[in-house]
């Protein structure tokens, strides 16, 4: 799948997380922190329980990608 299409599908599927993101239009590769070998996603506020579930799901998807 082309990365642009993947990002579009993620934005639709996880729209709440994208609205809370400090960088909602960033490319997926911008969120990888090579110094810690982990994803670095920053949000405007603390995530609620259901948003934590979504966060775990999106991390799982982009880690597979």
Query: How would you write the chain as a 3-class SS string?
Result: CCHHHHHHHHHHHCHHHHHHECCCCCCHHHHEECCCCEECCCECCCCCHHHHHHHHHHHHHHHHC
**Residues 40-53, mean pLDDT to the nearest whole number:** 94
**Residues 24-46, mean pLDDT to the nearest whole number:** 90
**Residues 34-61, mean pLDDT to the nearest whole number:** 93
Per-residue model confidence (pLDDT) at position 12: 92
**For the chain, what is the domain count?**
1
Q: pTM of this prediction?
A: 0.78
The residue ranking higher by pLDDT, 2 or 40, is 40
Range of the domain at 20: 3-64
**Residues 27-39, mean pLDDT to the nearest whole number:** 88
């Amino acid at each position: 799948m082309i990365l642009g299409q993947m990002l579009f599908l993620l934005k639709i599927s996880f729209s709440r997380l994208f609205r809370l993101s400090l960088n909602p239009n960033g490319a997926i590769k911008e969120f990888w922190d090579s110094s810690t070998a982990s994803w670095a996603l920053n949000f405007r506020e603390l995530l609620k329980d259901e948003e934590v579930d979504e966060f775990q799901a999106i991390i799982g998807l982009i880690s597979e990608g």
